[in-house]
A = this chain, B = another copy of it.
Amino acid sequence: MSRRLTDRGEERRRQLLAYATARFAEHGYHPTSVADIVNGLGVGKGVFYWYFDNKEELFRSILREAQLDLRRRQRDALAGAPDPLSRIAAGIRASVRWSAEHHELFTLVAFAATDDRFSGLVRRGQEVAVADAMRHVTDAIEQGLIPDRNPLELTRAMFGVTSELTRHFLHQEPEAAVSVDEIAETAAQFCLGGLLGPDARGAGDQPVASSSRS
């Protein structure tokens, strides 16, 4: 589809994406029909199919734009952080904040990861993000700031912390009145502690021999 869109067309496409995002997040991808989307916007069915080949393509577009936005946000957040551990902490905080602001997108990505058609796309996006974060973990190991353990395992553990705390406190139980900053801080602190491990000394200590060297 190499047809050009006018400004009016671009605006309509954005409306479809935004409305569909909200609708999918609230009711789920499968239970939401194309008719639901176009009726909600007050347009005819053909408008939908003018801009998207099918329902699945619409959803993929939403996922891709979410991934790009998050990655951009994390890159911006790391600018200026002096050392690997503070970059890791800054990345975690940026992630928590982005997810807090994009509840709908977070929900959709979580669903997409469990669905055959979309899990590949989600996986590839996450691999990029994980590779980004893992570089800092590797740097921290090389600089002797944390014990030498499997960087991928450590990075994935951090992802788990970040997404679970965000999901629970900022999306599922927002009435718990926990601030985004508090959750971001909890995530960062827990992860820094996790990187150090249970036998860790204070930051800056010389690396010590590990009984289970990897």
Q: Which residues of A contact B (CB under 8 A)?
A: 26-28, 30-31, 107, 110-111, 113-116, 123, 149-150, 153-154, 156-157, 159-165, 168-169, 172, 178, 183, 186-187, 189-200, 202-203
- A183: chain B residues within 8 A (beta carbon): 153
Determine the residue in chain B with the shortest Cβ distance to A189. Answer: B197
- A162: chain B residues within 8 A (beta carbon): 160
- A196: chain B residues within 8 A (beta carbon): 193, 196, 198, 200
Which one, B31, B111, B178, B203, contacts A198 given CB within 8 A? B203
Is the beta-carbon distance between B165 and A157 smaller than 8 angstroms?
yes
Determine the residue in chain B with the shortest Cβ distance to A160. Answer: B164
Number of copies: 2
Is the beta-carbon distance between B31 and A116 smaller than 8 angstroms?
yes
Is the beta-carbon distance between A169 and B156 smaller than 8 angstroms?
yes
Additional A-B contacts beyond A110-B114, A193-B198, A196-B196 (20; CB < 8 A): A30-B30, A111-B115, A149-B186, A150-B186, A153-B165, A154-B186, A154-B190, A156-B164, A156-B169, A157-B165, A159-B164, A160-B161, A160-B163, A163-B164, A189-B197, A189-B198, A190-B194, A190-B195, A193-B195, A199-B202
- A159: chain B residues within 8 A (beta carbon): 164
Minimal beta-carbon separation of A160 from chain B (angstroms): 3
Is the beta-carbon distance between A197 and B192 smaller than 8 angstroms?
yes
Determine the residue in chain B with the shortest Cβ distance to A185. Answer: B212
Determine the residue in chain B with the shortest Cβ distance to A108. Answer: B114
Is the beta-carbon distance between B123 and A172 smaller than 8 angstroms?
yes
Is the beta-carbon distance between B169 and A153 smaller than 8 angstroms?
yes
